[in-house]
Structure 1
Amino acid sequence: MRQRWVIGNWKMHGRRQQNAQLIHEIISVPLWPGLCVAVAPPAIYLQQVHELLIGSGVVLAAQMVSEYEQGAHTGQCAAGMLADMGVQLVLAGHSECRHAGQTDAQVALQVKRVLEQGMSVVLCVGETLEQHERGETLDVVRKQLEVIAGLGAEVANRLLLAYEPVWAIGTGRVASPGHAQWVHQALRSTLAKSLGEPWAMTPILYGGSVKADNAAELLSQLDVDGVLVGGASLKASEFLSLCRLAAQAR
């Protein structure tokens, strides 16, 4: 059975006191069997959140990573630094990073660096509104998948995908459950055909204006293995509701 995930991406939100309260409320509820839960705070708060999560079973994630191992790269965090901070999971290729100019070549290197350090990676893929309206969704996401070409089966259990239609992120628009299932199924099929059958077990998450009141039907889809959550991860009750829905789905 594929792993089920709920990942909270805090983006550029949080202060020390708010972080402590949010984490306290999240970890006060026992984890659901079979569900993996992760939070991705801003890099400056990774140490704080790492200490707050000790013994909880909740995974510490990072929002991004440098493609470089070290050197004169002001403001960047190398994969080795993140691993040293207790990070276990890293996002790569998030649409907001791509919008800021991040290329597929950079994403490919980020994935490589994360895996080299023994961490897991969430590769984010998704199409813009213009690409969506032109019917190019599958062409776009399959092209974005090419950054993991050549990966061996030994790292298959450390890769997650997140389908995040760009037109749904922070807009209040949500892909229909049928559309999400169509894309997720295509991604799973592409992984299996291009990299081998073990990759068919890759967890594929949906991200894009996910909230407790719209997640249940998305999570009931056969190839939707969880959610990558933005704004809804900043309120403990909402985030925990999403965790419960993900654990109970299917």
Structure 2
Amino acid sequence: MSKPVSLVAGNWKMNGQRGSWKEIDSLITKIDKEAPADCEVLICPPLTLMALFAVDASQSKVQIGAQDCHQNNKGAHTGDVSASMIADCGGSHIIVGHSERRADHQETSALVHDKAVSVVENGMKAIICVGETEAERDAGDAVKIVLDQISQSVPSTATSETVIIAYEPVWAIGTGRTPTVADVEEIHTAIRNSLIDRFSSDGAGFSILYGGSVKPSNAKELMGAENVNGALVGGASLKADDFNGIIDAYRP
């Protein structure tokens, strides 16, 4: 039985320009000087910056990934970028199924599944996002919604070495609202049990990240919750000092 790898990942969303390399350089300096124990660090900038950042971070302990990809490796898909292209630019991970993609682009769990397959086939790790809306939580359906997304989005070929789960309650993303630790533990434990049911002992080795208004002031408490193996961070990842403050949760 493998132990889940702790990961703190930054999702820059549609933010950042070439001058933002200063934040990456600052983060690299901080991480290489004082790497957190048993914790990996990842930044997923916009695709316009990914290749630049990947070169900058190539000799460091900071990994660079992408925020989305097309499910096909090539073809007549104007404006899209494939997992193979991202791998060619030095990407290590790709986020798929983020709630903003599911809502704004009507992405289904079936599509997320196919994207995850492509990510893994191209030698990278897929970070598969799941999470409920406020209405779904208020209706008492949070666990059901999340487990349905897990069931449909995670490929049957997934392993703890190739797929990471990120639970992000939609109502907490960028709002400043954060679930209680008990709320987070309930969902993460349900996810863990579902992975064990499906993948046997390897299910215990999948990393399950929490995302949704994670910041330096609450990171240690959230990262200490049961079955929480790291964080998927939005706005707080844009500044090296703030992001490093969240990584501090894994430093003694």
Q: Tell me the TM-score normalised to structure 2 length.
A: 0.94
Amino acid corresponding to residue 147 of structure 2 in structure 1: R
1:10 aligns with 2:15: no
SS at 2:117's partner residue? helix
Using the aligned pairs only, state the percent identity: 36
CA displacement, residues 44-72 of structure 1 (integer Å, 9 cap, x when unaligned): 11111111112012111100011122111
How far apart are residue 3 of structure 1 and its match? 1.0
Cα distance between partner residues in 1 of 2:140 and 2:68: 29
Preserved contact between residue 39 and residue 250 of structure 2 (Cα < 8 Å): yes
* Residue equivalent to 2:127: 122
Amino acid corresponding to residue 120 of structure 1 in structure 2: K
Any unmatched runs of 5+ in structure 2? none
1:102 aligns with 2:107: yes
User: What are the residue-to-residue correspondences of 1:168-179 with 2, within 5 Å?
Assistant: 168-179=172-183
Aligned partner (choices 197, 202, 207) of residue 206 of structure 2: 202
CA displacement, residues 23-46 of structure 1 (integer Å, 9 cap, x when unaligned): 111011122231100000001111
How far apart are residue 150 of structure 1 and its match? 1.8
Count matched residues.
245
Preserved contact between residue 131 and residue 145 of structure 2 (Cα < 8 Å): yes
Preserved contact between residue 6 and residue 246 of structure 1 (Cα < 8 Å): no
User: What are the residue-to-residue correspondences of 1:136-215 with 2, within 5 Å?
Assistant: 136-146=141-151, 147-151=153-157, 155-215=159-219
How far apart are residue 199 of structure 1 and its match? 1.7
User: What are the residue-to-residue correspondences of 1:68-79 with 2, within 5 Å?
Assistant: 68-79=72-83
Amino acid corresponding to residue 16 of structure 2 in structure 1: G
Segments of 4+ in structure 1 off by > 6 A? Answer: none
- RMSD value over aligned CA atoms? 1.1
Any unmatched runs of 5+ in structure 1? none
Q: Tell me the TM-score normalised to structure 1 length.
A: 0.95
How far apart are residue 20 of structure 1 and its match? 1.3
* Residue equivalent to 2:231: 227
How far apart are residue 2 of structure 1 and its match? 2.1
CA displacement, residues 169-224 of structure 1 (integer Å, 9 cap, x when unaligned): 11111111110011001100000001221121111010001111122211111211
* Residue equivalent to 2:94: 90
How far apart are residue 149 of structure 1 and its match? 4.5
User: What are the residue-to-residue correspondences of 1:34-45 with 2, within 5 Å?
Assistant: 34-45=38-49
